[in-house]
Structure formats: C-alpha cells, structure tokens
Amino acid sequence: MRVFDDKQDNVFKLLSEAISEGIVIVNKKQEIIASNEAANIMFGYENDELEGKSLNVLIPKNYHKNHRDHFSGFMNHFETRQMGHGREIFGLRKDGTKFPVEAGLNPFDVYGEKFVMALVSDITIRKNHENQIKDLNEKKAANYRNQFLGFVFQSFNLINYKNAMENVALPLYYQGLKRKERQEKAMFHLEKVGLAEWAKHLPSELSGGQKQRVAIARALASEPKLLLADEPTGALDTATSHDIMQFLQQLNDEGKTILLVTHEEDIAKMCKRIVRLRDGVIIEDNIISNKVSFLVISIRSLFLFIHFSFVIIFNPEVCSNSNYNPT
C-alpha cells in the first residue's frame, strides 16, 4: 500500500535516514509499509524487502498473541507511548536470532488512514552491561564504582580532618596508587578546579563553593567514565551555583559525561538534556543544545509540510560534549 506520493516519499526517506533509530511504519492491519536503513540493518533485511510483510516477521513467535492484543488496544487509544514498561521486549532478525529492543510507538493519520511509526533501538550492548553489573558481588561492585563512577554530593562529604589534597587523593588510595602518585594526581585536579593554592587547607577553612570544587576534584581524580552529581548546587547560593555549573559545563565540553540531579529550574536549563521524572516515571525528555533543538524543529516543520505529523523520539546516548549529533 502506498502512503506517500513521490515528493512526500523523498522527504520521508531523507528524514528517516538521518535518524539513528530503526523506523518501521505499519498500517492498521500490521502490514509494514515503510522502514529506514537503520531498521533494515538491525533486522537483517535488504532495502525495501520488508515492505508488504506482516509485522510478525520482526517479532518472536511466542510473542505474537500478546502483541496482537496490545496492538489492538493501542489502535483504539491511538496515542504516543513507549513499549515494554515493566517487561522486556524482543525483536527477531531475518536469520532467526532474537535480541532485546526498546520501541516508541507514534500514531499518525494520512488522508483518513491510520498508521503507526515505531522507533526501535537495539539495546543488546546495554543489557549485557546491566547483566554484568547485576552479577557483581559487593566487593567487585565497589571496585567497579571506584573505577568507573565519580560522585559529587549536595553536602560535599569531605573528611573534616583531612586537607583538600588528602580528600582528593582518597579514592586513589583504594585504587592502590603509591603516595607520591596520589599526591601528584590530587594536585593536578585541584589545579584544574582552581584550588591549587588551597591544597593544604582543611574543609572548615573553605567556602561552600570551594568545598564543592574540592568534591568535584575528588570525583575526577580516579578518571571516571561517568560523573554523577546529586544536587551539587543545593547547598550553595545562586552566584556560586552558577559558577559550579559553568565548571561542570566546561568538563562536559571536554568530553566528560555528567548525570546531574536537581530540583532547580535555572540549574536544569544550564544542561544540554533534561529528563523530568514524576513518581519514578519519565514524563519529559528534551534536548536543550541549540544545535539539536534546531534539528528537532526542522524535522517537525518538514513533516508538517508533507501533511502529517508525529512525534520524533530521539534516544541518544548521554550528551557528553558540545559536538553531540543525534545521527
């Protein structure tokens, strides 16, 4: 069944190939009427090979009945939603292999006909990492956190009887580094946060902003892959909070991935991506970076131009630098 005319089809292909997720569009009979290259590669099909096939070819057989019931209910309500809340969902490749996926369903209407666009992500690598972490014992989990994660707390959590350099060097002790190397690394990171001259000062001799910079230096000392910041500005005044955020922005621009939790709207707006939670459920996910925001607006405008609209859900990795590109 042909949904778009030639002009619309060209625009759809242009947009769909610019998106990293797999796109599969089906009609109300669950017949596939379009797919992008990412979806074809993900499921192991040639270009245009999926068109006209039943959606069931992409779903493991033991899920067919449940999927049919879910799809029927979805078509009755016809609203955007994420699949698989509270349960795992799987895709089926052409060669018969099964793999875990995430999928967002986006309904739209063209000339009175109802269609559904599914944005599909292969989450095999993520699931493998989750399983590795889940199987760690307490000691291995602690080593994993020390090696890969850095923590910045609202209340700083500095040791009062140790000076700034000793606080920063502490995680390195548990990594087995020798004293001289620990001190050199600690001084390097104190200099990075602008506190080299305060290295011998105790926490009681530092301002709130300086304490938080020491805490950030401590989190960075072990060179973590991910920096977790829990309300890092919660105990600071407005001016100091913005100074700390500017420093975190600088770290992010240098390539450090940062996950920050805050209740402050002005602090959230200084980030490149905002995910809002309510009662443990994601209710909003917005890219703030000007470059990405412009792309989202452009895509919507083009879709409106071809007489239909639906929600584009980007599911990028954590925005880790200013050159982030969703494609």
Q: Where are the domains of the chain?
A: 6-125, 136-271
Query: 165 falls in which pLDDT band (50, 70, 90)?
Result: very high
Helix (H, G, I), strand (E, B) or coil at 285: strand
Mean pLDDT on 88-93: 92
Directed axis angle between helix 164-174 and helix 179-192, to 10°? 130
Q: Phi/psi of residue 49, each to 5°?
A: -70, -30
Q: Phi/psi of residue 302, each to 5°?
A: -70, -40
Among the four given CATH numbers 3.40.50.720, 3.40.50.970, 3.40.50.300, 3.30.70.20, the one describing domain 136-271: 3.40.50.300
Query: In the numeric block, which tokens belong to residue 155?
Result: 């209340």
What per-residue confidence (pLDDT) applies to 7?
53
**pLDDT, tens only, 6-41:** 555 555 666 667 677 899 999 888 899 989 999 999
In the predicted model, what is the mean pLDDT of the chain?
79
SS3 for 123-166, per residue? CHHHHHHHHHHHCCCHHHHHHHHHHHEEEECCCCCCCCCCCHHH
Question: For residue 152, which of 237, 272, 241 has the smallest C-alpha distance?
Answer: 241
Of the listed ranges 57-66, 94-103, 265-274, 281-290, the least confidently predicted one is 281-290
How far apart (Å, rounded) are the C-alpha atoms in residues 234 and 327?
A: 35
What per-residue confidence (pLDDT) applies to 318?
33
Residue 314 scores a pLDDT above 50: no
What per-residue confidence (pLDDT) applies to 138?
79
297: number of Cβ within 10 Å: 10
**pLDDT, tens only, 144-160:** 777 788 899 888 999 99
Query: In the numeric block, which tokens belong to residue 16?
Result: 């769909």
Architecture of domain 6-125: 2-Layer Sandwich (3.30)
